[in-house]
Amino acid sequence: MEIVFPRLFFAGNRLLGERVENVSRTLGDLRGIFADVDAFSRMPQNILAYEVSSFLPEQEGTPGGLYFGITYLHPGKVGNEYFMTKGHFHANIDRAEFYWGLEGEGMLILMDQLRRVWAERVFPGSLHYIPGGVAHRMANTGNTLFSFAACWPSDAGHNYREIADHGFAARLLEVDGKPQLIGV
Ligand code: PA5
Ligand code: NI
């Protein structure tokens, strides 16, 4: 029997190991996703909005494979809209995904193909099943770093186009100090 060292481990805010990829998104990378264009243009574009550290053990598109990632979403707002991820459908639209909360507080915003939107509170230990055909985006509703983990099929892919072109049918805004989903 062989006992081996794990292939993958955490080091601070990062996964370490082979086939780990780290991606950063600045505010400038998120141009077009926030409602308040004036507030957006007054903010420094090089602010770090989020980082994703992913373990991608198989070639993208491998049927039956799994990917794992942790997203670190910084606190902040553009006008009264919370910092959020770009959001996407999966390129293979029927592929599902799990998200779960690690630290801080946030909201998972979901939209089906009929553009019906709903949201789930995310907190350390909360678990979220995102069915196939449902676009997903996270928002940081707190004042501290919000991090969450994700596990998705390696043949899911990301379709950012749909959301970049048409957005979500509702926005998560701070109203009287609380997050509220407002239809657009
Ligand atoms: O696979 C996922 O859904 C996540 O790992 C996201 O890619 C991550 O949270 C960043 O969001 P987005 O890909 O919408 O920029
Ligand atoms: Ni996804």
Q: Complex ipTM, two decimals?
A: 0.99
Ligand 1 centroid to 37 CA: how many Å?
23
Residue with the nearest Cα to atom 15 of ligand 1?
86
Pocket test for ligand 1, best of 67, 88, 98 (most atoms within 8 A of CB): 88
Q: Which atom of ligand 1 is nearest to the CA of 25?
A: 15
Handedness of CA 126, 10, 25, 39 (dihedral sign): positive
Residue spans of the domains in the chain: they are: 8-183
Ligand nearest to the CA of 91: 2
Residue with tokens 């919000």: 146
CB of 88 shorter than 6 A to ligand 1: yes
CB of 69 shorter than 6 A to ligand 1: yes
Cα 71 from Cα 52, distance rounded (Å): 4
pLDDT tens digits along 18-68: 999 999 999 999 999 999 999 999 999 999 999 999 999 999 999 999 999
Residue with the nearest Cα to atom 11 of ligand 1?
85
Please give the chain's pLDDT, 184 residues, in tens.
899 888 888 877 789 989 999 999 999 999 999 999 999 999 999 999 999 999 999 999 999 999 999 999 999 999 999 999 999 999 999 999 999 999 999 999 999 999 999 999 999 999 999 999 999 999 999 999 999 999 999 999 999 999 999 999 999 999 999 999 999 9
CATH superfamily of 8-183: Jelly Rolls (2.60.120.10)
Q: Which of 78, 80, 38 is nearest to 176 (CA)?
A: 80
Strand 66-73 to strand 146-153: parallel, antiparallel, or no bridges (unpaired)?
antiparallel
Give the pair of three-digit tokens for residue 122.
Answer: 């995310």
